[in-house]
Amino acid sequence: MRGRLKPIRTEADYKKALAEVERLWGAKSGSPEGDRLDILATLIDAYETEHDPMDPPDPIEDRATAACRSA
């Protein structure tokens, strides 16, 4: 996925973006590589939100977890 950034539209695009994030991980913030990492993270988040949304938390499970933590 090196080169021009574009929206992530397919599973193949998504996998390429993840591989590039792994390659760029740890890049200095504000550097060209760090900027690219930030943009890729935003694109990946948008793709995951659309294609693999998280279910809302179960309120009963959430209360049980909170009760266990405070005990």
pLDDT in tens, 2-45: 689 999 999 999 999 999 999 999 999 999 999 999 999 999 99
Residue 1 placed within a domain: no
Which amino acid is residue 1, in one-letter code? M
Distance, in Å, from the CA atom of 7 to the CA atom of 28, rounded to the nearest integer, reads: 23
pTM for this prediction: 0.71
Residue 4 placed within a domain: no
Residue 19 placed within a domain: yes
The count of domains in the chain is: 1
* pLDDT at 6 (0 to 100): 94
Please report how the helices 32-51 and 11-24 are oriented relative to each other, as an axis angle in degrees rounded to 10.
Answer: 150
Domain membership of residue 53 as a residue range? 11-70
Tokens of 62: 């959430």
User: In this structure, what are the phi and psi dihedrals at residue 60, rounded to the nearest 5 degrees?
Assistant: -70, -45
Render pLDDT for 41-66 as a digit per residue (tens, 0 to 9): 999 999 999 998 777 777 777 666 66
